[in-house]
């Protein structure tokens, strides 16, 4: 098969797969690839181990798994096409790749073990585009997931000839992407940075993923936050995993859903409140409407296209709140009334924002509060302000 036709073929396969029934049938399917025995550059020791261990974990989570170790271009191409057919209409579809990956001229590529990549233009004939991988997980009912431990320092880049110096922009690691629909893409290291292969059996990212992926009752986006924290701790902040994509408010679990008494989990264990018409302004609140553990000042770091901003919430015992962000232009300041009680909260802005109401769930663990809702889902940390 002409390798240049591969991406086009995958697009056609995805279009045909879209003719399948749209309703998810509860199936979970996964393609796991670990490439270490590269023929043109030094071998990587961990990817085959990482792939085998992740494949076993996904099987325990109910996925039908296809495992490819040290895949050539043809191995990866055939595996991805077959996987795409299985993924069409499934409830969840996941691809895990460990090995070399790189950005060339704005496109991201996963590198088979038989690739030579003597020129930047060879990628279209010798590597698998990340875009084609995302296409194969895009027609699921609940979640399409791509996990890439493929940001290692890449020896291909050093020896590659650039066809046009003005446009060949090979960089460290993988480039930023914008998945659409119900697709999440997790990088072992954020765009433009590199990940460590590790000295043990698994890479730091794979080891953290294995520690967290089977934890019951943890929503998938919170699971990746836990992975991020574990990797940053293990690498002394040298490596920061990053997740791209935006899901709906529906909670998605890879392992078992939370039980009612699962208060110790590392996340908010209930789905956010369903969308509803704007909440009416609550009546005047009293100190009894505020969980004493929430009284005080809290902060949340929020990433945006302009960098990190700090969101600061001051929760008062009289049932009112004040909010501002730093830098101040990153979010609009406002204040109003709020309740926190029995794991649920409500909010109604009275000043600074018009007709803004919100609601969700919360948990408090010492100096950390885990919040769901539009007001800043994530980990709030108690501030000294």
How much is the pLDDT for 377? 56
Closest by CA position to 231, among listed 214, 255, 201, 209: 209
Q: Which CATH class is domain 287-382?
A: mainly beta
Q: What angle do CA 375, 379, 381 make, to 5 degrees?
A: 100
Characterise 113 by phi-psi region: left (phi > 0), alpha (psi -120 to 50), beta (else). Answer: alpha
> Strand (E) positions, 131-260?
143-149, 183-187, 242-244
User: How far is residue 103's CA from residue 168's CA, in Å, rounded to a whole number?
Assistant: 10
Round the CA-based radius of gyration of the chain to a whole number and report it.
Answer: 23
Widest pairwise Cα distance in the chain: 72
Helix (H, G, I), strand (E, B) or coil at 313: strand
pLDDT tens-digit map of 186-242: 999 999 888 888 788 999 999 999 999 999 989 999 999 999 999 999 999 999 999
Q: Are 108 and 174 in contact (CB under 8 A)?
A: yes
How much is the pLDDT for 277? 41
CATH fold for the domain made of 3-244: Rossmann fold (3.40.50)
How much is the pLDDT for 279? 39
pLDDT above 70 covers a percentage of the chain that reads 78
* Ranges of H-type helices in the chain: 6-17, 47-60, 73-87, 123-126, 130-136, 155-159, 204-212, 220-234
Helix (H, G, I), strand (E, B) or coil at 319: coil
Closest by CA position to 145, among listed 28, 310, 35, 52: 28
pLDDT tens-digit map of 288-314: 378 888 888 988 776 655 566 788 888
User: How far is residue 111's CA from residue 100's CA, in Å, rounded to a whole number?
Assistant: 5
Which residues contact residue 145 at a Cβ distance below 8 angstroms, ignoring those fewer than 6 apart? 92, 93, 94, 95, 137, 183, 184, 185, 186, 220
Which residues contact residue 199 at a Cβ distance below 8 angstroms, ignoring those fewer than 6 apart? none
pLDDT tens-digit map of 36-64: 999 999 899 999 999 999 999 999 999 99
pLDDT at position 10 over 50: no
pLDDT tens-digit map of 151-182: 777 788 777 765 543 333 345 789 999 898 89
**What are the boundaries of each domain within the chain?**
3-244, 287-382
Helix (H, G, I), strand (E, B) or coil at 172: coil
Helix (H, G, I), strand (E, B) or coil at 358: strand
* Chain mean position to CA 381: 22
Of residues 71 and 340, more confidently modeled: 71
Residue 195 preceded by cis peptide, ω within 30: no
Rounded to an integer, the average pLDDT of 346-362 is 81
Sign of CA dihedral 104, 105, 108, 112: negative
User: How far is residue 298's CA from residue 383's CA, in Å, rounded to a whole number?
Assistant: 5
User: How far is residue 319's CA from residue 145's CA, in Å, rounded to a whole number?
Assistant: 40
User: How far is residue 243's CA from residue 223's CA, in Å, rounded to a whole number?
Assistant: 11
Q: Are 102 and 38 in contact (CB under 8 A)?
A: no
Helix (H, G, I), strand (E, B) or coil at 21: coil
Whole-structure pTM value: 0.64
């Amino acid at each position: 098969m002409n390798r240049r036709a591969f991406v086009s073929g995958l697009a056609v396969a995805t279009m045909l797969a879209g003719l399948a029934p749209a309703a998810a049938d509860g199936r979970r399917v996964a393609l796991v690839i670990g490439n270490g025995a590269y023929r043109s550059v030094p071998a990587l020791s961990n990817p085959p181990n990482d792939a085998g261990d992740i494949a076993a974990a996904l099987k325990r989570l109910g996925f039908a798994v296809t495992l490819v170790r040290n895949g050539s271009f043809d191995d990866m191409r055939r595996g991805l096409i077959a996987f795409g057919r299985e993924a069409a209409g499934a409830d969840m579809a996941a691809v895990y790749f460990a090995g070399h990956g790189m950005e060339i001229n704005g496109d991201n590529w996963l590198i088979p073990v038989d690739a030579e990549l003597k020129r930047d233009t060879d990628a279209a004939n010798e590597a698998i585009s990340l875009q084609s991988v995302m296409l194969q997980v895009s027609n699921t009912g609940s979640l399409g997931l791509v996990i890439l431990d493929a940001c290692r320092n890449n020896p291909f880049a050093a020896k590659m000839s650039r066809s046009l110096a003005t446009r060949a922009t090979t960089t460290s690691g993988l480039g930023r992407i914008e998945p659409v629909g119900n697709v999440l893409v997790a990088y072992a290291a954020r765009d433009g940075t590199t990940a460590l292969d590790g000295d043990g059996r698994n890479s730091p990212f794979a080891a953290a993923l294995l520690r967290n992926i089977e934890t019951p009752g943890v929503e998938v986006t919170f699971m990746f936050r836990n992975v991020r924290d574990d990797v940053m701790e293990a690498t002394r902040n040298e490596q920061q995993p990053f997740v791209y994509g935006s899901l709906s408010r529906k909670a998605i679990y890879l392992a078992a859903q939370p039980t009612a008494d699962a208060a110790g989990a590392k996340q908010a264990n209930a789905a956010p409140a369903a969308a509803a018409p704007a909440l009416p302004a609550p009546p005047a609140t009293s100190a009894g409407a505020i969980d004493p553990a929430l009284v005080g000042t809290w902060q949340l770091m929020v990433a945006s296209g302009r960098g990190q901003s700090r969101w600061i919430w001051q929760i008062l015992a009289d049932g009112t709140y004040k909010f501002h962000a730093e830098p101040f232009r990153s979010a609009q300041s406002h204040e109003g009334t709020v309740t926190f009680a029995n794991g649920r909260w409500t909010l109604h802005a009275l000043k600074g924002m018009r007709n803004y109401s919100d609601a969700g769930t919360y948990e408090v663990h010492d100096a950390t509060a885990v919040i769901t809702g539009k007001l800043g889902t994530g980990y709030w940390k108690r501030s000294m302000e």
